[in-house]
Amino acid sequence: MTTPLIIAVDGPAASGKGTIAQRLAQHYGLPHLDTGLLYRAVGLGVLDRGGDFGDADLAEQVARALEPEDLFDTTRLTDRGAGEAASRVAGHTGVRAALLDLQTRFARQPGGAVLDGRDIGTVIVPDAPVKLFVTASPEVRARRRWLQLTARGETLSFEDMLADIVRRDARDAGRGAAPMVQAADAALLDTTDMDIEAAFDAARRIVETSRAR
Ligand code: DC
């Protein structure tokens, strides 16, 4: 029996991990889950109920009551406020526990799957046969995200975007619950000087090398 191809893609905001995960999923014919969307949906749920991100019970309740339709409005889910809200609620252990089972089941589908997030290779599927940690310099990541958001009509300065990215990295990497960290057996892919085609090629080579082991 062949081992299911589970590809764990972790890394900070705007590193390119989402696009890489999507392209790998297409290439290998696998289902793809952007786990950030789950945390974003919880963050927006908390915002809609008053916005007290420090209220761990409220955040957990929202996470446990998540419905498929909470994941439909991708415009709102991918805006700047949702990213910040997601990072705030993601530090609560109850939220992470509430979202664990769904992610594990997705990852363990018979043929395999591609998941991207912050703790896929460390917590969700620590035995994934392929793990990538995708990163890029904060300036390059801020530039990419700023171009995306301003193209959609959001108004913010590049400096504010960079400050957002740096603050979010520190929060995601510094929390006690499943912090963002490169798994010991993950391949590091730095996309600072790469366009998406080069990044995808490099990712595909990593997958092939890991599968051959
Ligand atoms: O990948 P993203 O930017 O959509 O993620 C938004 C936030 O959600 C991120 O700052 C931290 C949190 N997150 C997480 O803690 N664990 C994940 N697996 C995915 C996202």
Residue minimizing CA distance to atom 3 of ligand 1: 13
The answer to whether residues 94 and 57 touch, using CB atoms and an 8 Å cutoff, is yes
What pLDDT is attached to residue 1? 55
pLDDT at residue 3, rounded to an integer: 83
187: Cβ–Cβ under 8 A, 6 or more apart, which residues? Answer: 131, 132, 133, 206, 209, 210
Instruction: Enumerate the H helices of the chain as residue ranges.
Output: 17-28, 36-48, 56-64, 74-77, 80-89, 93-107, 138-151, 158-174, 196-212
CATH code linked to domain 5-211: 3.40.50.300
Per-residue model confidence as pLDDT tens digits over 10-40: 999 999 999 999 999 999 999 999 999 999 9
CA distances from 35 to 18, 31, 54, 116, 128 (A): 10, 13, 21, 6, 16
Domain segments of the chain: what residues?
Answer: 5-211
CA of 204 to the centre of ligand 1 (A): 23
Rounded-to-integer distance, Cα 9 and Cα 52, Å? 30
Residues contacting ligand 1 via CB (< 6 Å): 13, 35-36, 39-40, 83, 86-87, 90, 117-119, 168, 172
Q: 213 pLDDT band (50/70/90 cuts)? A: confident
Best residue among 33, 39, 104, 141 to mutate for probing ligand 1, ranked by most atoms within 8 Å of CB: 39
pLDDT at position 113 is 98
